[in-house]
Amino acid sequence: MADTPTRRDLIGTLSRGAAFLTLSGTAGYLVQKAQGQIVWQVDAIKCVNSRIGDTATEACSLCTTACVVTQSAVRAVNDFANCGRCNICPAYYNIKSAVDPATGLPSEKRCPRDAITRKPIGLADPQDPANNFYEYVIDENKCDGCGKCVMGCKEPMGLGSVRLMVRHGLCVDCNRCAISISCPKDAIERKVVSEALTLQKVEHAEK
Amino acid sequence: MTEPARRLLLLLFLMLAGLGYSYAQVRYERPVDTAPQPQTIGGGYSVPEVQKPLPRRQWLQVLDVGVLALALGLSVWLVISKRSRRWAQFLTIGSLAYFGFYREGCICPVGSIQNVAVALTDPHYSIPIVVTATFFLPIGVAMFYGRAFCGGVCALGAMQELVVLKPIQVPRRLDQALGLLKYAYLGIAIWQAIQPFAAREFLICRFDPFVGFFRRDGFAHMLYVGAAFLIVGMFVGRPYCRYLCPYGGLLAWASRLSKRGVTITPDKELDCGLCTEACPYGAIDKMRAIRKDCLYCARCYSSCPRTNEAALVQIGAPR
């Protein structure tokens, strides 16, 4: 008696089979739809801090305040290839501050966390520092993506080489990024990894 | 001085003052219109690479799915075949360490419900294959063996499993009624997730009570809620799993189909009822394990005189 399948066993097997088929069908559909890994990224062309033509003068710091991670996963990134390497860098210095008479440079820095370092590069002339090129490197550990330097470097002040980017080593991949909810320009988007890592060029007008 | 001359002087003075003021700051003008190239900069300068931290590497994600499958297999084997509570506990701790504190609670099958729901309804939304696998593996196992995932694998469950101190038996009617909450939560969570993009909410992740502990970072209110769940969980076994976890609801459905699971074997039992008392989750009713409620902790086996010689002697049962 125990060995012969009962009606109960049959129903059990049938329903298990049906459920299994349904689930594998659903899984198959999802797999065929898969596009590879998708991550959050800031669209520099939409971001208020980097988009050209936006009249806002105060940097938007929602990336810093809205992120669920205490020190936001967003960082300011300097795209070195497009950096003007200016002596008076509008992202590094607050160009509206008073001039320091000793150096002839603005007395205040823009970064509230002092995350940017400035050093002369190339054929530096110690006698004429104003004529040198400078490299500006942002310290990832200090930066929290407040966007002040990004706003500073924007056309027409700078070349727009600094922009905000989500750092994927820090981002916890929330299903719905808290920054994207609060971003007024919908500049935080889901992107395929390869696309998310490409530095967008924020075009500036030719003079 | 005549009146016009005085006025002119005043005007000159004002202009000079204005000039002086504007000279206090740099008269800024963008020095370059294009970025200088290495040859212009000279001195052997080369443009540094912009560092771009990559997201978790693909093979590590596949490894996560592998660890999930392995843990599910171990959970079934240790509980069903070995009937070993001790080893099941080790597995629980291991899973808490890996899926909880190392992977920081993401991705987990519980939250992936929403992503699967969105991917099924929104033509522009897709989920990676690893997420699909993470979602379906525990359900597949539940269809054959019951809620093995809840026992030794789920990090949220492990967190609560390890704080069970003096569990009370929740009256059956109340337990059943509260158990319906998780289906309501499942429904609401899916409904909120399948909204158009702008209105979309991922409630399960947003109100995940334990992810803050895993990340050692999070919103204070959710950390308090998590702590409250853990304190209640000392006396009411695994409250989140039993009454709120939407994935637990799905697994409960799947486990109704299962062929095998934790079983109090007829003919071998002693009718002593020790297993019923030992079960903190109200999953043993009238000496039978309820598959949809069983959370694979193996406490019933470890309390059973049939598997525990000392207890057998104590109650003077025939061997």
Predicted confidence band at B140 (pLDDT cuts at 50, 70, 90)? very high
Q: Are residues A61 and A95 in the same domain?
A: yes
Distance CA B279, CA B157 (A): 15
Whether residue A202 is contained in a domain is answered as no
A99 closest CB neighbour out of B26, B32, B52: B26
Provide the H-helix boundaries in A75-192. 148-153, 178-182
Is there a domain that residue A203 lies in?
no
Q: Which residues of B182-194 are buried (b: 16+ CB within 10 A; e: fewer)?
A: beebbeebbebbb
A19 & A61 share domain: no
Global ipTM: 0.80
| A19 and A63, same domain (yes or no) | no
Taking the C-alpha atoms of residue A135 and residue A137, their distance in angstroms, rounded to an integer, is 6
A192: chain B residues, CB-CB within 8 Å: none
Average pLDDT over residues B176-188: 96
Q: What is the pLDDT of residue B31?
A: 76
A207 found inside a domain: no
Domain for residue B291, yes or no? no
Q: Are residues A84 and A26 in the same domain?
A: no
| Same domain assignment for residues A100 and A187 | yes
For residues A104 and A88, the answer to whether their CB atoms sit within 8 Å is no
Look at residue B150 and tell me if it is in a domain. Answer: yes
- Domain membership of residue B301 (yes or no) is no
Is the confidence at residue A3, as pLDDT, over 70?
A: no
Examine the domain organization and report whether A66 and A162 are in the same domain: yes
Section B163-176 average pLDDT:
94
Does the pLDDT value for residue B20 go beyond 80? no
Instruction: Answer yes or no: is B270 within a domain.
Output: no
Choose the weakest-confidence range: A13-22, B13-22, B28-37, B260-269: B13-22
- Chain B residues with CB-CB distance to A167 below 8 A: 53
The full length of chain B comes to: 319
> Are A123 and A139 in the same domain?
yes
Beta strand pairing status for A105-106 and A116-121? Answer: unpaired
Name the residue range of residue B159's domain. Answer: 58-261
Q: Are residues A8 and A90 both part of a single domain? A: no
A52-80 residue pLDDT tens = 887 788 899 999 999 988 899 999 999 99
Tell me which chain A residue has its CA closest to the CA of residue B35: A84
Residues A85 and A149 in one domain: yes
B271 lies in some domain: no
Domain match, A28 and A91 both: no
Task: Give this prediction's pTM.
Answer: 0.83
Question: Is the per-residue pLDDT at A158 higher than 60?
Answer: yes
| Position A156, amino acid | P
In DSSP terms, A164 is beta-bridged to: A76
Q: Is residue B224 one of the residues assigned to a domain? A: yes
CB spacing of B35 vs A84 below 8 angstroms = yes
Number of compact structural domains in chain A: 2
Would you state the pLDDT for residue A196? 87
- Residue B311: its pLDDT value, please? 55
User: What range does the domain containing A100 cover?
Assistant: 38-196
Q: Do B35 and A174 touch (CB under 8 A)?
A: no
Spacing of C-alpha A169 from chain mean position: 12
pLDDT at A82 over 60: yes
A162 forms bridges with which residues in the sheet? A78
Residue B169 lies in a domain: yes
Q: Which of B116, B128, B144 sits opposite A36 (nearest CB)?
A: B128
pLDDT-derived band at A96, boundaries 50, 70, 90: confident
CB-based contacts of A12, cutoff 8 Å, min separation 6? B257, B259
Shared domain for A90 and A145, answered yes or no, is yes
Q: What is the pLDDT of residue A206?
A: 47
Q: CA of B293: how far to CAs of B106, B237, B238, B253, in Å?
A: 25, 12, 11, 10
With a cut of 80, say whether residue B268 has pLDDT above it: no
**Residue A1 pLDDT more than 50?**
no
Statement: residue A157 has pLDDT above 70: yes
In total, how many domains does chain B have?
1
**pLDDT at position A155, please?**
82
Does residue B73 lie within any of the structural domains?
A: yes
Task: Please answer yes or no on whether B31 and A38 come within 8 Å at the CB atom.
Answer: no
Query: Same domain for A67 and A11?
Result: no
Find all residues with CB under 8 Å of B306, minimum gap 6, and list them.
B268, B269, B270, B312
User: Does A185 fall in a domain?
Assistant: yes
